[in-house]
A and B are shown apart, each in its own frame.
Chain A
Amino acid sequence: MAAKKVGDTLSRELAEEVKKWGCMKQTGVSLRQMMNFGGKFSHKNLLISAKFVHRELRVRIARRVIKLENLPYGLSSKAAVLKVRDWYLDSFRDLRSYPEIKDKNDELEFTQMVKMIKVRHNNVVPMMALGVQQLKKERPKFDYEDLREIHQFLDRFYMSRIGIRMLIGQHVALHDPNPLPNCVGYIHTKMSPLEVARNASEDARGICLREYGSAPDINIYGDPDFTFPYVPSHLHMMVFELVKNSVRAVQERFMDSDKVAPPIRIIVADGLEDVTIKISDEGGGIPRSGLPKIFTYLYSTARNPLDEDFMTTDVATACTMAGYGYGIPISRLYARYFGGDLQIISMEGYGTDAYLHLSRLGDSQEPLT
């Protein structure tokens, strides 16, 4: 059972450590830096990386603990949020109690440890979602405007989580003796956005077929030979979320109609600075007044599959067509993590266009808040 206050069960010493590390300056890393560093496998580099990660994770995780304890509207004391806070505290404690990394063995053990940390935090997103839901139940008069502070917190919190998991993941991947060609950890130095878009849309179509029995066509246009360095799993996730929404909109609009459902069009454009992926549908669109809501957390026009039982079940993968309303805001965080963005413009009565902007240069630092 999660303790309500840190000081209750843990020593004051730990609380002070958290405070100290939580005020220290974070150090951002760019995609290009990650790529360049990771490309040179050597024991020396592994040691350097481990020391950096050992220090940086403590700073970032402590910061998150402090924020989790100081949320508005009493969100901090919701059961689900306390659970998340305890995960972060446990991880901080693990890192803090790990001794200085001096040699290869220390380093291997350390890597095992941070791997476990990553696993411990696997369900942070749905758990926080449950926490917000628990809050909403208590205060039914809550408006999206009131939730703005909470949204801002969640944006920063999840963005930070993307960074932490990226750092851990890259460090762990450095140990792979047989990495895939052209890959540096999660980064594919020659990723073809067209190919990733194709896979992601096929996955989205698959889910639609399963739920509705049919699915609209998807046409993809772009240069099949164009590649650039990026994290394919991130891009896959974003395109998947966007195409899922488009497919659902079109399907629901034309399901009971005689007309043939118009295809969803995806254009992959490569420029000097930006790579842009545009996903267009004729699914009927969203009124302008409804647009701000789609970027909020827990706004969804679908049934919410979360319920209280979740605290004990493991709901790692979101396999439904529409869920607890996190697809779009989280996709935008992933896009922004590497200096890109996600914009959605809708034409009420016609359809919606989603623009995924990715930075081609890989120079931007992680956004750290």
Chain B
Amino acid sequence: MAAKKLYESFSKELIEDVHRWGSMKQTSVSLKYMMEFGSRPTARNLLISSQFLHKELPIRIARRAIELQNLPYGLSLKPAVLKVRDWYLDSFRDLRSFPDIKDQNDELEFTRMINLVKVRHNNVVPMMALGVQQLKKDLDPKIDYKDLDEIHQFLDRFYMSRIGIRMLIGQHVVLHDPNPPPDCVGYIHTKMSPLEVARSASEDARCICLREYGSAPNVNIYGDPNFTFPYVPTHLHLMVFELVKNSLRAVEERFVDSDKVAPPIRIIVADGLEDVSDEGGGIPRSGLPKIFTYLYSTARNPLDEHSDLETTDVASPSTLAGYGYGLPISRLYARYFGGDLQIISMEGYGTDAYLHLSRLGDSQEPLP
């Protein structure tokens, strides 16, 4: 049971350390640098990388831990949020108590340790979602999503930071792979075909739709099959999957009882931009701001108080609609690499989602 008072679980010295490191300046890594550096994973480079992470990760993690303690409306005291805070504090302690990295053995141990840190934080998103849900129950039901703006801004920063931390850790860990797939530098595929990723992501989304509804609208994809650029395929897959999932569900629900053939979802891939269009009936303009908030969903929330989030793995989105995080998180992923996600809807007709991707290399990590 998560302790409400910090000092019950963590020593005074640690807390002071957290405050000290949380005020230090973060260093953003240029994605071009990640690619260039990662292409030469020599023992020396791995040492340099681990020494950098040994300094940088505690700064970023401490910053988050402090923010988690100072959330508005009493969000910081919700059990689920306290749990997340404890994860961050444990990870901070692990990093700080790790001795100086001097040789290859140290480096390997360090890598193992930060990999465990990453695993520890696997369920942060659903756990925070639960925390916000716990808060909503306590709050005056008359409160509108707009009033929760402070919380939304916090969550945006928090999750964006998490993307960065996991990218740094993941890249470092994967660089130890003795047999990397061709053209890959860690998570980065130097010749990623957005068309191909879009194809597999939409097939995955269609499968889920078939499973839930028994049928699924077609997805037509247009674009240059030979066009490639450096990007992180898993990120793109996640974003396209989320967007197509929404489109499929909208179209399916609109045409399920109709004689008409469901119009296909169209995806246009244009040199760094993916346009996912559906004719699923659209969203009124008044409803659009809500879709980027956390915990707005027109579907049943699969999370509840009784989920054992410590041991269950809620990592994969196996339902067609869930706890309402698909769009805001997708937008964070897009923005992490200097891109963006825009959604425009035409009420009574359908919705268009524009995923702008920047070619890796030009942008720095955004560090909130």
Contact = CB atoms under 8 A, between A and B. Distances in A.
Interface of A: 267, 269-274, 276, 278, 285, 288, 341, 343, 345, 347-351, 353, 355, 357
30 contacts: A267-B349, A270-B347, A270-B348, A271-B282, A271-B348, A271-B349, A272-B284, A274-B285, A276-B282, A276-B345, A276-B348, A288-B340, A341-B285, A345-B342, A345-B352, A347-B270, A347-B271, A347-B275, A347-B354, A348-B270, A348-B271, A348-B272, A348-B273, A349-B271, A349-B272, A350-B270, A351-B270, A353-B344, A353-B352, A357-B285
Interface string B272-288: 11010000001011100
Contacts of B189: none
Given A288-B356, A341-B285, A347-B354, A269 B346 contact: yes
A345 B346 CA distance: 14
Interface string B208-240: 000000000000000000000000000000000
Most chain B CB within 10 A, of A269, A285, A353, is at A269
Nearest to A285: B270
Nearest to B222: A350
Given A347-B268, A347-B270, A350-B270, A273 B286 contact: yes
A271 B271 CA distance: 32
A269 B347 CA distance: 7
Nearest to A226: B348
Interface string B332-355: 000000001010111111101010
B284 A271 contact: yes
A269 B270 contact: no
Given A272-B284, A273-B284, A273-B285, A350 B273 contact: yes
A341 B288 CA distance: 13
Contacts of B285: 273-274, 341, 357
Nearest to A277: B346
Nearest to A339: B285
B347 A274 contact: yes
Contact of B349 (A276, A288, A345, A350): A276
Given A269-B347, A271-B348, A276-B346, 13 more contacts: A269-B282, A274-B348, A345-B342, A345-B344, A347-B268, A347-B275, A347-B354, A348-B272, A348-B273, A349-B273, A353-B344, A355-B344, A355-B346
Contacts of B344: 343, 345, 353, 355
Nearest to A356: B346
B290 to A, nearest CB: 14
Given A347-B354, A353-B352, A271 B275 contact: no
Most chain B CB within 10 A, of A271, A343, A355, is at A271
Q: 7 closest A-B pairs (Cβ-Cβ)?
A: A271-B347, A269-B349, A350-B270, A271-B348, A276-B346, A349-B271, A269-B346
A343 B352 CA distance: 12
Contacts of B347: 269-274, 276
Contact of A350 (B271, B284, B342, B352): B271
A347 B352 contact: no
A269 B349 CA distance: 6
A132 to B, nearest CB: 30
Contacts of A353: 344, 352
Contacts of A347: 268, 270-271, 273, 275, 354
Most chain A CB within 10 A, of B268, B284, B286, is at B284
Interface in B309-364: 340, 342, 344-350, 352, 354, 356
Nearest to B356: A288
A343 B288 CA distance: 14
Nearest to B224: A349
Nearest to A341: B285
Most chain A CB within 10 A, of B285, B340, B354, B356, is at B285
Contacts of A274: 284-285, 346-348
Given A347-B273, A347-B354, A348-B273, A272 B348 contact: yes
A345 B352 CA distance: 10
Contacts of B275: 347
Interface string B246-290: 000000000000000000000010111101000000101110000
A274 B287 CA distance: 11
Nearest to A278: B346
A61 to B, nearest CB: 32
A267 B354 contact: no
Contacts of A350: 268, 270-271, 273
B53 to A, nearest CB: 32
Interface in B281-312: 282, 284-286
A131 to B, nearest CB: 34
Interface in B86-100: none
A347 B347 CA distance: 22
Contacts of B270: 285, 347-351
Contacts of A288: 340, 356
A353 B356 CA distance: 14
B285 to A, nearest CB: 5
A343 B346 CA distance: 12
B351 to A, nearest CB: 11
B253 to A, nearest CB: 16
A355 B350 CA distance: 12
Nearest to A274: B347
A285 to B, nearest CB: 7
B49 to A, nearest CB: 32
Contacts of B349: 267, 269, 271, 276
Contacts of A273: 284-286, 347
A1 B331 CA distance: 56
A351 B275 CA distance: 11
B95 to A, nearest CB: 37
Interface in B23-49: none
Contacts of B286: 273
Contacts of A267: 346, 349
Contacts of A278: 346, 352
Nearest to B339: A288
Contacts of B284: 271-274
A185 to B, nearest CB: 26
A353 B342 CA distance: 12
A227 to B, nearest CB: 14
A271 B356 CA distance: 27
A145 B340 CA distance: 22
Nearest to B281: A271
Contacts of A270: 347-348
